[in-house]
Structure 1
Amino acid sequence: MSTSTNLQETAPPPDGAPKSQGTVIHAGRAISVVFYVTVAARLLSIVSQVLTASAFGAGPTMDAYTVALIVPTTISAILAAAVGAALIPVFVDYRENKGEAEAIRLLSVAITLGTLIALVVTVALLAGAPLVVTVFARQMDAPTQTLAVILLRFLMPVLLLQVLVTLVGSVLNAYGRFALPALAPVTITLSTIAFLLFARSWGIYALGWATIVGYSLNFLLLVVAYLRMGLRFHFDFSWRHPGIQRIAALSAPMLIGALMVNGNNLVDQFMASLLPPGSIASLSYAIKLVDTPSGIFYTALSTALLPIFALQVARREFTLLTTTFRQVVIFSAIILLPAGALLSSLSRPVVEIFYHHGNFSAQATDVVASAVMFLAPNIFFVTYGFINGRMFNALQDNRTLRNVAVLSLVLNAVLDYLLMQIWGVAGIAFATTLTYLIGAVTLLLILNKRLQGLRLPQLGLSLGKTAVAAAFLWLTCALPAMLPQVAALPLLVQIVLLSAAGLVIYAALLLALRVPEVSLLWAILCSRLSWGRAQAKPA
């Protein structure tokens, strides 16, 4: 049975039915559904990260695999962000104002053209694999570069699969199916765990096969859900369709913006390739560790908020729009700023627990821990970037995202080069965090000019107070961790004791500083828990 969470309509009406009026979106319920399934998926991903680190460490072989995987995944993310973010607002607008039949026809054309674009890019990269590896693997020796080329060509189907997953998943989201699109990527994690446990003798190729199988299963699950909803697809090459022209107009600036945003990952990896062998893999391990908690939130928020924002814009409910945006941003800060502070201050014991096993050396542990310390604030900054991006997507103002992204890419490259001279991989991590911070502030100022009722002074005051409380949490954990008595304790005991002390200080400061949204967030969480218990009771 497919899961319908926050849309009153549970299946698309037949062709010729009246327009989809009266659809109600409950933001909290939609976000909660995606959040819970994403938590389960991300927790499971920790197991695959531990197994990968133990099996392959942070040496040249892992460098080759990281370079090979980041190319198709980054390019697919660029295409998916551009087309997916443009598709939902136009699709929702068509469904609301022109009827179901027109919306479904638009969908068929969009999927057809999206598939063709992905195929063209895939073929081009298969042919140009040696050149791509040369650019991103400058310090690798010849055998490692050869391995990277082989792996890159082997992993290129990931690009096509991810684009298709995004297109189909976006449609499911538009119809209120949030759980399965959020949970389906767990197939990649399960596949990785299975191959590392039962096919480890295949070496690095076990990871390659795990990735291909996982993405394929992800796509098949979404296709089954798509068909069970009663939706159908047929190839339609009507590229002159008015809706496609609207999507193209929105996608063009968004494509450049997505290129710039995701391009930061490529810039970081390129800079890491100029450092000693193992630096690419070390940076990748640090990013994955930070992305595990942050991905729980930005996946849930960005998945649920785009159709919500798009529907509010389509109905011109701008007061509700600004209220939703402001509350989501502040609530995210209250939860994620302390999470980033904890991970930053406790990066060393956390990295030792997760990664320092098997072939993962002490030197690699030091490098990854220092990078995690500087990357940890991105738990909030990246999440905020997704929230703000979804707002501009819904407003169909992707040009602003493009312009800010271009500036961010240039800034990130400059800061990467300067700071890596001082701190190596940690310098690249610090440059990334500074870039996200500056980009977040810039987008917020622009959005404040675009929308009335955002109440920026109040928003800034609440965010500032929360940041101050999080800074004291960091000090509460970081300073005692330097004491020999604390360092002698078992790693897990250190993390638990220091985290508990830091969270007590954080909560006390939030209350003392009188952040008004704290009580509101607490009330919402309590109501959600009460709703969950009520649903669990038998009738």
Structure 2
Amino acid sequence: MNLLRALATVSGMTLLSRILGFVRDFVIARAFGAGLATDAFFVAFKLPNLLRRMFAEGAFSQAFVPILGEYKNKRSVEDTRTLVDHVASLLSMMLFAVTVVGIAAAPLLVWISAPGFSTDAGKFELTVTLTRIAFPYIFFMSLVALAGGLLNSWSRFALPAFTPVLLNLSFIAMALFAAPYFDPPVLALAWAVFIGGLLQMAIQIPALKKISMLPRPTLNWRAAWADPGVRRIATLMGPALIGVSVSQVSLLINTIFASFLKTGSVSWLYYADRLMEFPSGMLGAALGTILLPSLSRYHASENHVEYSRLLDWGLRLTLLLAAPAAVGLAILAVPLIATLFFHGAFAADDVFRTREALVAYTVGLVGLILVKVLAPGFYARQNVKTPVRIALISLTATQVMNLAFVLWVGIGHAGLALSIGLAACLNAAMLYRGLRRLDIYHPQPGWGSFLLKLSLALIVMAAVLWFGMGSEASWLQADFMARGVRLAWLVPLGCGSYFATLWAFGFRLRDFKKRTAV
């Protein structure tokens, strides 16, 4: 399969999911507003969603896919099926136990995650009820991660990339049509989480049957745990879990910092982060998803040359696509923020304060996406400790820079965004240095010419966007429709100028085609 086509598929599905996420937020806000009920739901959904990010999509996938790739390349089909059966069996039993405990301990979990709710008995009880309905989401999503790892390893990227869309559709449908039938109506959102997770798991079953890898569960946990492959996955998951937790801890600490700053700082960072999620999700997550299985297979077959070439392909493609995204977001910050958020209570000052955070974030956008390409270079070799150690160093650097930018330089919330961006660049630089020092990655010829042509194309694009944008004040004075129309021609104009310049310099789409590892 062509990796460039796979990237386009995964990125397209991610874009669809992000767009539906905005629709979901709009529908929920319109149906439920902002009050006791929505506060209760967002707290109830926070814990299973956090566990999903840390465990299902993070640590498990990073540990499971490399071992699976090794089995697929070096072992028989039956050995691979046995590994999948044992992993699925043990995972299901553990998750079922966690789910039961989570449902039973919902009052304690709510008290820990939102202690202020305990002063309002009605709000507390509602949050507990919503938590119990939504908690099985972690069970479903961990099995979805297992299925996604299998399908991606067989180069079936489209379906795993599409599954998040189902959760957003579930939210939209339940909020629009089912809420009136629940008492209170907000219960519909908790059931939307449950149904969305179930749908995401169910839709992958036919695809697993098609590749003959549908797990055959067993209750014999001793046999499953005795499997050496299972034990190796469990060993890798420990440090991987720490590594995934680092980003969540960093976000939590940044929120704590922001809570002591000027009122509105948390919101300005949130809205800027929402815009950053588009390129980081579409490129970073997508590239990491398609690279890890092929890198794992090249490592298993000891094809070090193709391993290095694939990393080189990922790095060039990242710079080719992430650099213009960063420049575009920085220049068009006010037009984008004004078009999407400058309505109602969101004032002009909020636009400019959010712009400050977004521009600061863009400093590290390329680094953030490079991490998603460089880290799989270690994960595929079953080396989780090195990227985790680097992530911990980056976390420490982030907090040092937070103190420096907020307390000493005095740039407030923008300093928090800048510290995340610079730490991402540090993370990427250290990962790159590690790959080079361990003789894993060897840059292919032509990097100097590539970077020069890329820089010139970025300058052309930046000039087109800058002069085409006009004054920032004009975007605040225009109505929503006028802003939307201007963006509708300005963004394609900038993209067109960038790729036209690259084409004039000799760049061709066929030059970036790459096949998945067999």
Q: TM-score, normalised by structure 2?
A: 0.81
- 8 Å CA contact 1:79–1:255 kept in 2: the answer is yes
Q: Partner letter of residue 75 of structure 2?
A: K
2:378 matches 1:386: no
The residue correspondences of 1:208-223 to structure 2 (distance < 5 A) are 208-223=190-205
Farther off after superposition, 89-98 or 137-146 = 137-146
- 1:196 to partner: Cα distance: 3.5
Q: Specify the alignment match of 2:336 in structure 1.
A: 350
2:450 matches 1:450: no
Partner of 1:396, secondary structure, is coil
- 8 Å CA contact 2:111–2:118 kept in 1: the answer is no
Q: Distance in 2 between matches of 1:254 and 1:463?
A: 33
Q: Specify the alignment match of 2:90 in structure 1.
A: 113
Q: 1:470 to 1:84 in 2, by over 3 A?
A: same
Farther off after superposition, 457-466 or 83-92 = 457-466
Q: Specify the alignment match of 1:296 in structure 2.
A: 282
Q: Partner letter of residue 454 of structure 1?
A: H
- 8 Å CA contact 2:15–2:278 kept in 1: the answer is no
Q: What are the superposed Cα offsets for residues 292-338 of structure 1, whole Å, 9 maximum, x if unpaired? A: 33312234322221111111111111111111111221112111221
Q: Specify the alignment match of 1:31 in structure 2.
A: 7
2:387 matches 1:405: no
Farther off after superposition, 31-40 or 185-194 = 31-40
Q: Distance in 2 between matches of 1:130 and 1:420?
A: 37
- Which of the numbers 127, 134, 137 marks the counterpart of 1:158? 137
- Which of the numbers 228, 233, 242 marks the counterpart of 2:216? 233
Q: Partner letter of residue 192 of structure 1?
A: F
- 1:414 to partner: Cα distance: 3.6
2:65 matches 1:82: no
Q: 1:97 to 1:501 in 2, by over 3 A?
A: closer
Q: Specify the alignment match of 2:324 in structure 1.
A: 338
- Which of the numbers 45, 52, 74 marks the counterpart of 1:69? 45
Q: Specify the alignment match of 2:166 in structure 1.
A: 187
Q: What are the superposed Cα offsets for residues 116-151 of structure 1, whole Å, 9 maximum, x if unpaired? A: 444455556557767766776689995598476665
Q: Distance in 2 between matches of 1:133 and 1:423?
A: 35
Q: Distance in 2 between matches of 1:175 and 1:74?
A: 28
- 8 Å CA contact 1:330–1:463 kept in 2: the answer is no
Q: 1:292 to 1:434 in 2, by over 3 A?
A: same
Structure 1 stretches of 5 or more lacking a match? 1-5, 7-25, 529-539
Q: Distance in 1 between matches of 2:110 and 2:405?
A: 24
Q: Partner letter of residue 427 of structure 2?
A: G
Q: Specify the alignment match of 2:232 in structure 1.
A: 246
- Which of the numbers 23, 28, 36 marks the counterpart of 1:47? 23
Q: 1:145 to 1:111 in 2, by over 3 A?
A: same
- 1:433 to partner: Cα distance: 1.6
Q: 1:115 to 1:344 in 2, by over 3 A?
A: farther
- 1:440 to partner: Cα distance: 1.0
Partner of 1:185, secondary structure, is helix
- 8 Å CA contact 1:61–1:204 kept in 2: the answer is yes
Q: Partner letter of residue 176 of structure 2?
A: L
Q: What are the superposed Cα offsets for residues 11-68 of structure 1, whole Å, 9 maximum, x if unpaired? A: xxxxxxxxxxxxxxx4334334433443443443343244345567788876665554
- 1:437 to partner: Cα distance: 1.6
Q: Distance in 1 between matches of 2:378 and 2:102?
A: 31
Q: 1:214 to 1:333 in 2, by over 3 A?
A: same
Q: Distance in 1 between matches of 2:30 and 2:465?
A: 28
Q: What are the superposed Cα offsets for residues 368-424 of structure 1, whole Å, 9 maximum, x if unpaired? A: 454333334555333322221222111111110110111122223343455456455
The residue correspondences of 1:461-500 to structure 2 (distance < 5 A) are 462=450, 466=454, 470=458, 473=461, 477=465, 481-482=470-471, 484=473, 488-489=477-478, 490-496=482-488, 498-499=490-491
Q: Distance in 2 between matches of 1:60 and 1:441?
A: 45
- Which of the numbers 415, 419, 424 marks the counterpart of 1:436? 424
Q: Distance in 1 between matches of 2:285 and 2:426?
A: 22
Q: Distance in 2 between matches of 1:291 and 1:475?
A: 25
- 8 Å CA contact 1:341–1:471 kept in 2: the answer is no
- 1:167 to partner: Cα distance: 0.9
Q: Partner letter of residue 443 of structure 1?
A: L
Q: What are the superposed Cα offsets for residues 344-371 of structure 1, whole Å, 9 maximum, x if unpaired? A: 3223332333344567676765654543
- 8 Å CA contact 1:68–1:151 kept in 2: the answer is yes
- Which of the numbers 65, 68, 81 marks the counterpart of 1:104? 81
Q: Specify the alignment match of 2:148 in structure 1.
A: 169
Q: Distance in 2 between matches of 1:508 and 1:226?
A: 42
Farther off after superposition, 502-511 or 84-93 = 502-511
Q: Partner letter of residue 71 of structure 1?
A: L
- 8 Å CA contact 1:58–1:360 kept in 2: the answer is no
Q: Specify the alignment match of 1:23 in structure 2.
A: none
- 1:191 to partner: Cα distance: 1.5
Q: Specify the alignment match of 1:318 in structure 2.
A: 304
Q: What are the superposed Cα offsets for residues 143-198 of structure 1, whole Å, 9 maximum, x if unpaired? A: 59847666555433222222111011111222232211111221012112223333
Q: Distance in 1 between matches of 2:403 and 2:115?
A: 15
Q: Distance in 1 between matches of 2:102 and 2:258?
A: 22
Q: Distance in 2 between matches of 1:97 and 1:488?
A: 64
- 8 Å CA contact 1:119–1:160 kept in 2: the answer is yes
Partner of 1:519, secondary structure, is coil
Q: 1:350 to 1:50 in 2, by over 3 A?
A: farther
Q: Partner letter of residue 406 of structure 1?
A: L
Q: Partner letter of residue 287 of structure 1?
A: D
Q: Distance in 2 between matches of 1:196 and 1:349?
A: 31
Q: Distance in 2 between matches of 1:346 and 1:162?
A: 36
Structure 2 stretches of 5 or more lacking a match? none
Q: Give the fraction of aligned pairs with identical amino acids, expressed as a percent.
A: 28
Q: Partner letter of residue 220 of structure 1?
A: A
- 8 Å CA contact 1:55–1:359 kept in 2: the answer is no
- 8 Å CA contact 2:88–2:217 kept in 1: the answer is no
Q: Distance in 2 between matches of 1:62 and 1:414?
A: 35
Q: Partner letter of residue 267 of structure 1?
A: I
Farther off after superposition, 328-337 or 70-79 = 70-79
2:175 matches 1:196: yes
Q: 1:57 to 1:407 in 2, by over 3 A?
A: farther
Q: Specify the alignment match of 1:531 in structure 2.
A: none
Q: Distance in 2 between matches of 1:415 and 1:204?
A: 40
Q: TM-score, normalised by structure 1?
A: 0.78
- 8 Å CA contact 1:54–1:360 kept in 2: the answer is no
- 8 Å CA contact 1:481–1:487 kept in 2: the answer is no
